[in-house]
């Protein structure tokens, strides 16, 4: 019986222990579940500034689209609380433009905030602000409870539109420098009101995949997928904004004065961007970010550079012209909205389009600014560019050519036009042609390209046959010409002059009349506008006398061309109706040795053999003859054409 009792007691004890262990385990599970409540993350809008939220530390969810420039950010890494929370998160790299969760911590105010350009957001500089905040990934930290509803400094919270529950906070009536009951956390390594910045770890964005077009591609035209690429590109640093001190209750409108642009970079700039199907969506976004960085670095404005964009695929189309956006902010926003066209890479067709249609007065082209076209191509063009580019150069357009991920050795068989970049660019040297090995290194080209397009002294193709010469007319006023025919000669001179672009910095016109003697009618620096030149020609009086053409050439070299500018082409257009009474060979050779290009125009009794001696070699391109004064007008187009042909035939190096 004693053994039975002991056995029963053991069973009871064992059952009690089982129940005890089971209860402890159940309690532990309940405790664990109680310790892990589901976190409700409040949603806010892009325009919510950190200073409006009372909570010292919180997690919020930002919507998409906060990269928009109307949401202002002040500082870098450490942001003034006057900044948009979500825009600051995009600037820091914690979020991208698609939105997401972000952890925000309030920290002490700084004595200065430095603006910068990062991840598509331009932050502004600020001398000082009483409160700051930092952002990091929206992952809750262990042991920290974050509010599921935010406390705002005003009962009328804009965040209510996002559907969250808010708590109103009433400001105390006691005056003081700080009216918000916030315990500020100090950033490690900084002291309050110091300008040091704490750099937060930035998450690596995932490599998005490109979607390829279903459009059939031409033979050898690459259609590429990007899912395997991990060499992610980030925008390079560009110019800093000087910033300003905002008032407490200012609106969200921009507070800085509108820039008039950089006067040291006054160019009219067209970007021809590749919208072909082969480029893919991701590369197209990189291309747009590159344009935005260029726009920011250039400081767009009416007194500085202006920029328009043409996108090409099968056919080109103007996205916006030179006068559509007159500051960098608006231009960047417009670039972001450009959709991809798709199709082939018809670069030659795009260059022709720009030459004929883009640089027009109606499109904002300014006569005082050089025309620059920057062509961007992924791989290689699907049409020919040489002839279109030649016409562009002859129109005074400086073409820069950027090839990204050009053809490798086994792809060169598919390239329609070998050496297309050197054939398209303004000059064959490396100043106008850039080769970029990868789309992900394109951002490194921003500053070199900006420096080049702004260097107006190096923009060689701004000089054309019609805007880069000193043209000296040497006019026979001998008795054989007669008063009526002399007026016909002056009309011919006026017709030629009308074809040139005349100004102090463009083509300049001068005139000498001769008989036995010589007279300077007006020099290159006498008149600087076309109306003044034409009026001066009309006022030239007929002199009458003999014909000393050799002496007239020597006089023109001394009194006219000696004052020509070093960077000007020297053109002498000599018009005579008879044989010279003096030697012409030595003066003609002297003109040639001084770099003067001579066009000899003979009328009526002019000697053909003398015209060939006077004219620059080859004589067939520089000597002309008509048998009557009334037929002089027929020569004007031929003379201008030969002047331009001679100019455009020079080597491009």
Of 411-425, 471-485, 529-543, minimum mean pLDDT range? 411-425
Whether a cis peptide bond, with omega within 30° of 0, leads into 113 is no
Which is nearest to 601 in space by CA: 634, 570, 569? Answer: 634
364 φψ region: left (φ > 0), alpha (ψ -120 to 50), beta (else)? left
- Give the integer Cα–Cα distance in Å for 227 and 10: 67
115 vs 60, 87, 251, 329, CA distance in Å?
24, 13, 20, 15
Report pLDDT for 213. 36
Give φ, ψ of 614 to 5 degrees.
Answer: -65, -40
Q: How many Cβ atoms from other residues are within 10 Å of residue 437's Cβ?
A: 11
Give pLDDT tens digits for 361-393: 899 998 778 999 999 999 999 999 999 998 998
**CB-neighbour burial class of residue 265 (10 A; exposed 0-12, middle 13-18, buried 19+):** buried
Residues 82 and 106 placed together within one structural domain of the fold: yes
User: Which one of 85, 108, 137 terminates a domain?
Assistant: 137
- Give the integer Cα–Cα distance in Å for 506 and 483: 32
254 φψ region: left (φ > 0), alpha (ψ -120 to 50), beta (else)? beta
Within-domain flag for 181: no
Q: How confident is the model at residue 505 (pLDDT cuts 50, 70, 90)?
A: confident
Q: How confident is the model at residue 462 (pLDDT cuts 50, 70, 90)?
A: confident
Residues 396 and 479 placed together within one structural domain of the fold: no
Q: Which residues contact 609 (CB under 8 A, 6 or more apart)?
A: none
- Give the integer Cα–Cα distance in Å for 487 and 474: 15
| Sole residue written with tokens 């008039």 | 260
User: Are 241 and 124 contacting, i.e. CB atoms less than 8 angstroms apart?
Assistant: yes
Within-domain flag for 262: no
Task: Tokens for 390, please give them.
Answer: 């030649």
- Give the integer Cα–Cα distance in Å for 281 and 475: 64
Residues 453 and 469 placed together within one structural domain of the fold: no
Residues 535 and 477 placed together within one structural domain of the fold: yes
Q: How confident is the model at residue 541 (pLDDT cuts 50, 70, 90)?
A: very high
User: Are 406 and 435 contacting, i.e. CB atoms less than 8 angstroms apart?
Assistant: yes
User: Average model confidence (pLDDT) for the chain?
Assistant: 82
Residues 437 and 530 placed together within one structural domain of the fold: no
Within-domain flag for 370: yes
Give pLDDT tens digits for 157-184: 444 334 443 443 333 333 333 333 333 3
**CB-neighbour burial class of residue 579 (10 A; exposed 0-12, middle 13-18, buried 19+):** middle
What is the 3 state secondary structure string of 7-56? HHHHHHHHHHHHHHHHHHHHHHHHHHHHHCCCCCCCECCCCCEHHHECCC
Q: Is the pLDDT of residue 49 over 70?
A: yes
Residues 411 and 476 placed together within one structural domain of the fold: no
- Give the integer Cα–Cα distance in Å for 385 and 422: 10
Residues 498 and 408 placed together within one structural domain of the fold: no
Domain that holds residue 410: 268-462
Positive/negative CA dihedral, 410, 412, 415, 420:
positive
Within-domain flag for 257: no
pLDDT exceeding 70 applies to what percent of the chain?
A: 77
324 vs 132, 256, 281, 303, 337, CA distance in Å?
37, 21, 25, 15, 14
Instruction: Catalogue the E-assigned strands of 348-477.
Output: 371-378, 397-404, 433-436, 469-476
Which is nearest to 419 in space by CA: 428, 411, 408? Answer: 428
Q: How many Cβ atoms from other residues are within 10 Å of residue 493's Cβ?
A: 25
Give pLDDT tens digits for 135-153: 998 877 777 888 889 988 7
Q: Which residue has the higher pLDDT, 570 or 232?
A: 570
Partner residues linked to 129 by β-bridges: 110
**At 101, which CATH number?**
2.170.130.20
- Give the integer Cα–Cα distance in Å for 49 and 65: 16
Report pLDDT for 208. 36
Residues 509 and 637 placed together within one structural domain of the fold: yes
Residues 278 and 427 placed together within one structural domain of the fold: yes
Within-domain flag for 379: yes
- Give the integer Cα–Cα distance in Å for 416 and 381: 8
Residues 299 and 421 placed together within one structural domain of the fold: yes
Q: How confident is the model at residue 250 (pLDDT cuts 50, 70, 90)?
A: very low
Q: How confident is the model at residue 18 (pLDDT cuts 50, 70, 90)?
A: low
**At 605, which CATH number?**
3.40.50.410
Within-domain flag for 93: yes
Positive/negative CA dihedral, 126, 128, 132, 137:
positive
Q: Is the pLDDT of residue 584 over 90?
A: yes
Compute the average pLDDT of residues 580-593. Answer: 97
User: Are 425 and 372 contacting, i.e. CB atoms less than 8 angstroms apart?
Assistant: no
Residues 445 and 494 placed together within one structural domain of the fold: no
Compute the average pLDDT of residues 551-564. Answer: 97
User: Which one of 137, 162, 185 terminates a domain?
Assistant: 137
Number of domains the chain is built from: 3
Within-domain flag for 12: no
pTM over 0.75: no
H/E segment holding residue 551:
helix 549-559
Q: Which residues contact 479 (CB under 8 A, 6 or more apart)?
A: 515, 544, 545, 546
- Give the integer Cα–Cα distance in Å for 454 and 177: 48
Within-domain flag for 5: no
Residues 514 and 413 placed together within one structural domain of the fold: no
Report pLDDT for 411. 85
Give φ, ψ of 575 to 5 degrees.
Answer: -120, 120
User: Which one of 393, 427, 462 terminates a domain?
Assistant: 462
Report pLDDT for 460. 84
Compute the average pLDDT of residues 524-529. Answer: 95
Compute the average pLDDT of residues 349-362. Answer: 94
Give pLDDT tens digits for 264-287: 999 999 999 999 988 999 999 999
Widest pairwise Cα distance in the chain: 163
547 vs 65, 489, 554, 579, 628, CA distance in Å?
80, 16, 14, 7, 18
- Give the integer Cα–Cα distance in Å for 191 and 189: 7
Give pLDDT tens digits for 180-205: 333 334 444 343 333 333 333 333 33
DSSP secondary structure letter of residue 299: T
H/E segment holding residue 349:
helix 347-353
């Amino acid at each position: 019986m004693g053994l039975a009792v002991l056995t029963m007691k053991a069973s009871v004890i064992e059952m009690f222990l089982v129940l005890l262990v089971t209860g402890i385990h159940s309690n532990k599970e309940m405790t664990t579940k109680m310790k892990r409540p589901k976190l409700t993350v409040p949603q806010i809008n892009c325009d919510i500034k950190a200073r409006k939220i009372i909570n010292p530390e919180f997690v919020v969810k930002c919507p998409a689209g906060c990269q928009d420039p109307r949401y202002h950010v002040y500082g870098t890494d450490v942001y003034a609380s006057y900044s948009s929370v979500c825009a600051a998160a995009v600037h820091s790299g914690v979020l991208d433009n698609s939105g997401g969760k972000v952890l925000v911590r309030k920290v002490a105010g700084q004595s200065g905030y430095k603006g910068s350009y990062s991840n598509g957001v331009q932050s502004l500089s600020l001398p000082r602000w009483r409160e700051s905040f930092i952002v990091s990934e929206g992952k809750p930290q262990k042991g920290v409870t974050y509010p599921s509803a935010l406390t705002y400094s005003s009962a009328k919270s804009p965040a209510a539109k996002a559907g969250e529950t808010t708590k109103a906070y009433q400001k105390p009536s006691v005056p003081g420098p700080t009216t918000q009951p916030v315990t500020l956390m100090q950033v490690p390594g900084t002291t309050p009101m110091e300008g040091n910045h704490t750099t937060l770890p930035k998450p690596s964005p995932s490599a998005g995949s490109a979607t390829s077009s279903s459009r059939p591609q031409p033979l050898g035209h690459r259609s590429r997928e990007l899912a395997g690429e991990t060499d992610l590109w980030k925008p390079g640093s560009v110019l800093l904004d000087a910033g300003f001190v905002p008032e407490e209750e200012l609106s969200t409108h921009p507070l800085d004065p509108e820039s008039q642009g950089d006067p040291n970079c006054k160019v009219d700039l067209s970007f021809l961007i590749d919208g072909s199907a082969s480029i893919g969506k991701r590369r197209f976004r990189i291309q747009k970010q590159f344009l935005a960085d260029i726009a920011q670095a250039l400081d767009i404005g009416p007194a500085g550079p202006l920029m328009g964009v043409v996108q090409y695929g099968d056919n080109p189309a103007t996205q916006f012209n030179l006068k559509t956006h007159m500051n960098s902010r608006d231009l960047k926003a417009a670039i972001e909205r450009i959709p991809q066209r798709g199709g082939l890479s018809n670069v030659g067709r795009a260059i022709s389009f720009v030459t004929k249609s883009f640089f027009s007065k109606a499109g904002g082209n300014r006569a005082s600014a050089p025309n620059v076209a920057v062509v961007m191509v992924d791989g290689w063009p699907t049409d020919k560019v040489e002839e279109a580019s030649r016409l562009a150069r002859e129109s005074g357009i400086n073409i820069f050519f950027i090839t990204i991920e050009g053809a490798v050795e086994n792809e060169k068989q598919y390239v329609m036009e070998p050496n297309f970049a050197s054939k398209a660019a303004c000059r064959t040297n490396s100043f106008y042609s850039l080769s970029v090995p990868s789309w992900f290194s394109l951002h490194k080209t921003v500053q070199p390209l900006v420096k080049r397009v702004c260097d107006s002294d190096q923009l060689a193709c701004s000089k054309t046959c019609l805007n880069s010469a000193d043209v000296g007319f040497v006019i026979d006023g001998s008795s054989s010409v007669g008063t009526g025919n002399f007026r016909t000669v002056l009309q011919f001179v006026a017709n030629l002059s009308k074809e040139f672009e005349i100004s102090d910095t463009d083509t300049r016109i001068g005139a000498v009349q001769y008989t036995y003697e010589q007279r300077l009618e007006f020099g290159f620096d006498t008149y600087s506008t076309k109306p003044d030149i034409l009026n001066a020609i009309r006022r030239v009086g007929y002199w009458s006398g003999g014909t000393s053409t050799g002496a007239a050439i020597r006089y023109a070299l001394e009194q006219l061309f000696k004052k020509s500018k070093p960077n000007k082409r020297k053109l002498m257009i000599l018009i005579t109706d008879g044989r010279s009474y003096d030697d012409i060979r030595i003066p003609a050779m002297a003109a040639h040795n001084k770099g003067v290009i001579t066009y000899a125009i003979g009328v009526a009794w002019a000697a053909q053999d003398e015209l060939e001696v006077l004219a620059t070699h080859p004589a067939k391109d520089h000597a002309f003859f008509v048998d009557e004064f009334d037929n002089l007008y027929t020569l004007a187009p031929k003379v201008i054409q030969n002047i331009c042909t001679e100019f455009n035939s020079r080597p491009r190096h």
